[in-house]
Structure 1
Amino acid sequence: MSTTIETPRSPYSREARTSVKRGVNWEKWGWIYMRVSGVLLVVLIFGHLFVNLMVGEGVDALDFAFVGGKWSSPFWQVWDVLMLWLALIHGGNGMRTIVNDYASTRLTRGIFKSAILAAVVVLIVLGTLVVFTFDPCPAGAPADLLPSFCPAS
């Protein structure tokens, strides 16, 4: 018994290409990005898991104070933001590839790719703002709502 897999309906088929090269080959750079970001993400994620789960008291130490202390260091802010950016762009690029392969019309592809781009941009902006503006001890907050490690206001 043999199974035949239908060819994806990609607008970028070999027959559509001409022998004249025009501009930047975005598909090639997207492919390279996926490989490089994948390797970097493996390193970043396993480093993240090792520090959060294995070093110190392990999973029992994960709480608001742990995150507050970690994000007070510029090193961990950059680490987490780099992980966020790489993961979101990597996932968005993968979704873009799926849309290119399976969306049947140019309008559908445009709508889906625009929605993916909007979601990735919004999540990157919000995530970056959270990491760099995080303050576990906000000024003017009631003392009973502050964590125990914050000086009383």
Structure 2
Amino acid sequence: MTTLDAPRAPFRRSRATRSNFELYSWLFMRGSGVVLIALVFGHLFVNLVAGDGIKAIDFAFVGGKWSSPFWQTWDLLMLWLAELHGVNGVRTVINDYAEKDSTRIVLKTLLLVSAAVVLVLGTLVIFTFDPCPVGEPANLLPSFCTQ
């Protein structure tokens, strides 16, 4: 039978749990959320409102955007913050609802592995994207490509 401490008993924190990880995680969620709102609305404004709207978004548009280090950095920051923000939220849900330690460990391991794969692949796509592939028809390429 499990006994509970009296409601007014002082909280005793063990030495093993003396970490501020959850505090920093909570602060990260608030900070990354604010930054993500600015990044996402900036992204939506540039892609959908400024210019010709959604009909202008094609391979050439993305190629032109990602030829600029500014937009590469913008999209990379948006990818990383969104991924880490989401992973932190799912980690919290796993902590709240996984009852067995073994289940919690398996779920968190799967979460971290999948997050690492998405971050690595997304980063590679952003930085290795070639807007001027060799051998493609000129009418499909952005105007800045010289072939």
- State the TM bucket, normalised to the shorter chain: 0.7 to 0.9
Q: Give the 3-state SS of the residue equivalent to 1:107 in structure 2.
A: helix
Whichever residue aligns with residue 135 of structure 2, its letter is P
Give the alignment's Cα RMSD to 1 decimal: 2.2
Matched, 1:41 2:13: no
Q: 1:144 to 1:114 in 2, by over 3 A?
A: same
- The corresponding residue for 1:147 is 140
Matched, 1:87 2:82: yes
TM norm structure 1: 0.81
Percent of aligned pairs with the same amino acid: 55
Aligned length: 136
Higher helix share: 2
CA–CA distance in structure 2, aligned partners of residues 81 and 133 of structure 1? 12
Q: Give the 3-state SS of the residue equivalent to 2:112 in structure 1.
A: helix
Of 105, 130, 134, the residue aligned with 2:129 is 134
TM norm structure 2: 0.84
Of 55, 64, 75, the residue aligned with 2:59 is 64
Q: CA deviation at 1:136?
A: 1.6
Q: CA deviation at 1:142?
A: 2.3
Point out 4+ residue stretches in structure 1 off by more than 6 angstroms: none
Q: 1:142 to 1:106 in 2, by over 3 A?
A: same
Q: CA deviation at 1:17?
A: 5.6
CA–CA distance in structure 2, aligned partners of residues 61 and 100 of structure 1? 44
Of 23, 46, 50, the residue aligned with 1:51 is 46
Of 85, 89, 92, the residue aligned with 1:97 is 92
